[in-house]
Structure 1
Amino acid sequence: MTASALPAAGAAPATPLPALSALAGQASNVPLTRVSLAYIEARFKLYLRFGEPARTLRLDRWRRCAVFLPRAMFCRVRWEANDYGTIRWQLMVMQAATPLDDMQRIPGVRPAARLLLHAEGENAVRAVLERIDGIEGQGIAAIDVSSAYWRTLGNCLAARLALPEYTAERHAAWLAGRALP
């Protein structure tokens, strides 16, 4: 070990990194969901299409980690390519959960999340992205959309049925139902 790698005599010890809950501005007992994100030019993109993380940590030049509070809704898109073109399209709409909720283990999501919609393949992902654009075009934030709609959309994709539109009336009904005790 060289002298430059040793701590200076009398120097204060390094302070430990703060907990993720402290970085997110929350109490230490709040269960947080961590989502891995990455970007490698022309090869790999793992990014959020929508969602409001409590905090985003930059790990290095290519990787980030988004931290979500319980009940937060988010959409993660995965795109992969090789020398011959695109090899994988994937879109998942998820909801961060508490330890008492039902959750699914998903690679890159720690500890887990509630999976509302899973689309695989270019056509399915493009169809869902069009629905998300349509929702946002109506002035509705995608994170405020009913979780039942995302499940319905996923089921229609799996059954190869026509995908339902998310209307302002459906959104108003969702908000009214959520306001009830």
Structure 2
Amino acid sequence: MRAERSVAAGAVRSPAADASSSCGPIAVAAARPPSGQADRASLTHVSLAYVARRLVLALRFGEPDDVLHLDAHRRVALFRPGAVFCRTCWRAGVVGVASRQLMVMQAGTPLDRVPRVPGVQPGARVLLQAHGTQPVRAALARIDAIEALGIAPQDAAPLYWLALGHRLSVRRPLPAYSVEQHLAWRAGRTPR
């Protein structure tokens, strides 16, 4: 796959990047796994970047298996199949912030059919997607509330993230996550 240089100070844009995403036009292409490392081929590659006053692609939560440092501004986090992680995107405009995005995703297995997400190779199951200042702030508040319970957000039930994403998209009251729900999910029962 050939990557093209974009205007954003050394950011590399994937030719397959989704232009409809607010952070898609400057999404950074994930690096291909080094040849001869079959173990890394099954991992999900998540691009992260920092360009001062222009672009921030960062992890809010998640435990990467490894992090590859491409240069001073770009990294690639590698996640095992089934891992849940959250990537935030902040992009500056001419005056102030042009877009904010938050996505909670779950890495798929090599045989899963997962949707393509800009900067995530081969793709990931999108559990929650928030665009704009208010939805992103609301999602961040729920993440903070989960952490206040002493639960790592990546360990929360994936169904909770789906429910939160659906509620955000239709502007309904957001569900809270409780310790009881978490224990029920860990025990193998469906959280309510």
After TM superposition, the score normalised by the length of structure 1 is 0.82
Q: 1:28 is paired with a residue of what secondary structure?
A: helix
User: Identical aligned pairs, as a percentage?
Assistant: 53
Which residue is 1:73 aligned to?
84
Instruction: Compute the displacement of 1:112 (Å).
Output: 0.7
CA RMSD of aligned residues (A): 1.7
Match of 1:53 among 32, 55, 64: 64
Gaps of 5+ in 1: 1-17
Match of 2:54 among 18, 32, 43: 43
Q: 1:105 is paired with a residue of what secondary structure?
A: coil
After TM superposition, the score normalised by the length of structure 2 is 0.77
1:13-72 residue CA offsets vs partner (Å, 9 max, x unmatched): xxxxx83885xxxx6386110000000111110000001111101101111000111011
Q: 1:93 is paired with a residue of what secondary structure?
A: strand
Corresponding residue pairs, total: 157
Change (3 A) 1:77 1:103: same
Runs of 4+ in 1 over 2 A off after TM superposition: 18-22, 27-30, 99-102
- Give 1 or 2 for the bigger CA radius of gyration: 1
Task: Give, in whole Å, the separation in 2 of the partners of 1:68 and 1:127.
Answer: 26
Instruction: Specify the code of the residue in structure 2 equivalent to 1:49.
Output: R
Task: Give, in whole Å, the separation in 1 of the partners of 2:40 and 2:145.
Answer: 38
Task: Give, in whole Å, the separation in 1 of the partners of 2:172 and 2:66.
Answer: 37
Q: 1:106 is paired with a residue of what secondary structure?
A: coil
* 1:139 matches 2:150: yes
Which residue is 1:94 aligned to?
105
Which residue is 1:19 aligned to?
34
Which structure is higher in helix share?
Answer: 1
Instruction: Compute the displacement of 1:171 (Å).
Output: 0.5
Match of 2:44 among 22, 29, 33: 33
